[in-house]
Structure 1
Amino acid sequence: MANCCSEKSCEIEALRDKQSKTLKIVLAINAVMFVVELSAGILANSVSLIADSLDMLGDALVYIFSIYVIARGARMKAFSAMFKGAIMAAFGLFVLGQAIYSIMVSHSPSYEAISIFGVVALLANAICLALLWQHKAEDINMSSVWLCSRNDIIANISVIAAGIGVWLTSSAWPDIIVGFALAFLFMKSAIFVLKEATLELKTATS
């Protein structure tokens, strides 16, 4: 009888275990950072921080669903990716609404809080991206997760830039502009993931 570890099924099981462990770690990081950034965003009156915290929440939900579908087939993984795309789109619309509301209602965000927590979030997401990098080409489930993490890095850099911009201009506009940019990024990524998921679903059912 052949050794289990030399069989394809054993290799797949080992890969699934590795994916699950990685997703659980990044899930914990994102859950903690959601609470931290949301609290900071509310206290600092910052659209960009609130937007970034919602991105963290969205990622946490995505990771939970991704863990669930690891051992499932291609069809379920395609549905998982569609779920992630829907989350991205929903948060994109919410952030867009927040940015528009901030234009209509005058506010003065704290550039210190924006910059500090932007750096903290960047470090947290850099760890997540490094952990997910090795899995990005394994299947649509992990590639869509990696895309979420890559977007987080872009969002964090934008938040830091917003803090610097608020400090230099003594205006809320840099914070609002970054809010609009993050909303656009969410929507663009949502469209990409939904298209990929649709193609994967067609392949899985054909």
Structure 2
Amino acid sequence: MAGCCHNDTCSSSEAQNNPQWRLALWIALGINAGMFLGEIVAGVAAGSASLQADAIDFLGDAANYMISLSVVGMAITWRARAALLKGWSLALLATAVLASTAWHAYAGRLPGADTMSIVGVVALFANGGIALMLYRFRTGDANMRSVWICSRNDAIGNLAVLAAAAGVFGTGTAWPDLVVAGVMAMLGMSGGWQIIRQASGELAESRLTPVSAAG
């Protein structure tokens, strides 16, 4: 039937031009930018490595949503390039989190468990809402999937921050906070690698498609 799509490329293109997809990105961008500002202030005030790690993740996601909005409706090659950029930026942010965690371990300051708990709950509601909103787009191309991976990782990270707050309160040491920050960094690296791998595959496939068509 004319106008019907029965392949992944067509379905992905339709989804990219879906007004609901654009709206979801704008909402996610606004929430992430606001949460970064609030959480970085709280993280510094509480001396929490995991809160600061989560704040950096919010900043990275806000930038990633902005990149996704800039390539909505473009060809798969440009969307894959955007996803590749996001994958590398996620990996670099994870490296920055590891460096920050090492500094906190050296400084030896005990973080404020009460602040960690309050901010962690707020961030969990924010990221949980974003993850639910973006769930329907999780099986798209690398650009769309990268957005889902970021939102999923954020929600998991918030649960980890709450666990770290309980650990700090229960043990009276900073190690639960440092361990969670390190795990969040590794999760970021893993998510970045998943995005890079899929985007690289889509770029390679887009280069081969014209050759196949010409043959």
Q: Please report the TM-score for the alignment, with normalisation by the length of structure 2.
A: 0.89
| Matched residue, 1:3 | none
Deviation at 1:12, TM superposition (A): 3.0
CA–CA distance in structure 2, aligned partners of residues 36 and 200 of structure 1:
36
Cα deviation, 1:109-156, whole Å, max 9, x if unaligned, reads 000011110110000001101110111123221111001000001100
| Matched residue, 1:140 | 142
Deviation at 1:18, TM superposition (A): 2.0
* Residues 35-74 of structure 1 aligned to structure 2 (within 5 Å): 35-74=37-76
The structure-2 alpha-carbon separation of the partners of 1:186 and 1:14, relative to structure 1 and needing over 3 Å to count, comes to closer
* Residues 161-172 of structure 1 aligned to structure 2 (within 5 Å): 161-172=163-174
The structure-2 alpha-carbon separation of the partners of 1:81 and 1:96, relative to structure 1 and needing over 3 Å to count, comes to same
Cα deviation, 1:144-184, whole Å, max 9, x if unaligned, reads 10010000011000100010000000001100111111111
CA–CA distance in structure 1, aligned partners of residues 45 and 184 of structure 2:
20
| Matched residue, 1:191 | 193
* Residues 10-49 of structure 1 aligned to structure 2 (within 5 Å): 12=14, 15-49=17-51
Deviation at 1:7, TM superposition (A): 7.5
Deviates more, 1:14-23 or 1:100-109: 14-23
Checking the alignment, whether the CA contact within 8 Å between 1:16 and 1:70 is kept in structure 2 is: no
Which residues of structure 1 form unaligned runs of 5+?
A: 1-5
| Matched residue, 2:83 | 81
The structure-2 alpha-carbon separation of the partners of 1:42 and 1:202, relative to structure 1 and needing over 3 Å to count, comes to same
Deviation at 1:70, TM superposition (A): 1.0
Secondary structure of the residue aligned to 1:109 is: coil
Q: Please report the TM-score for the alignment, with normalisation by the length of structure 1.
A: 0.92
The structure-2 alpha-carbon separation of the partners of 1:123 and 1:204, relative to structure 1 and needing over 3 Å to count, comes to same
Which residues of structure 2 form unaligned runs of 5+?
A: 209-215
Alignment match of 1:176 (pick from 160, 175, 178): 178
Identical columns (%): 37
- Number of residue pairs matched? 201
Checking the alignment, whether the CA contact within 8 Å between 2:161 and 2:177 is kept in structure 1 is: yes
CA–CA distance in structure 1, aligned partners of residues 85 and 113 of structure 2:
34
Tell me whether 1:116 sits opposite 2:107 in the alignment.
Answer: no
| Matched residue, 1:97 | 99
Deviation at 1:14, TM superposition (A): 8.5
The structure-2 alpha-carbon separation of the partners of 1:14 and 1:137, relative to structure 1 and needing over 3 Å to count, comes to closer
User: Once superposed, which parts of structure 1, at least 4 consecutive aligned residues long, lie more than 4 Å away?
Assistant: 6-9
Give the CA RMSD over aligned residues: 1.8
Checking the alignment, whether the CA contact within 8 Å between 2:79 and 2:142 is kept in structure 1 is: yes
Checking the alignment, whether the CA contact within 8 Å between 2:15 and 2:21 is kept in structure 1 is: no
Secondary structure of the residue aligned to 2:18 is: helix
Checking the alignment, whether the CA contact within 8 Å between 2:90 and 2:192 is kept in structure 1 is: yes
Secondary structure of the residue aligned to 1:20 is: helix
Deviation at 1:13, TM superposition (A): 8.1
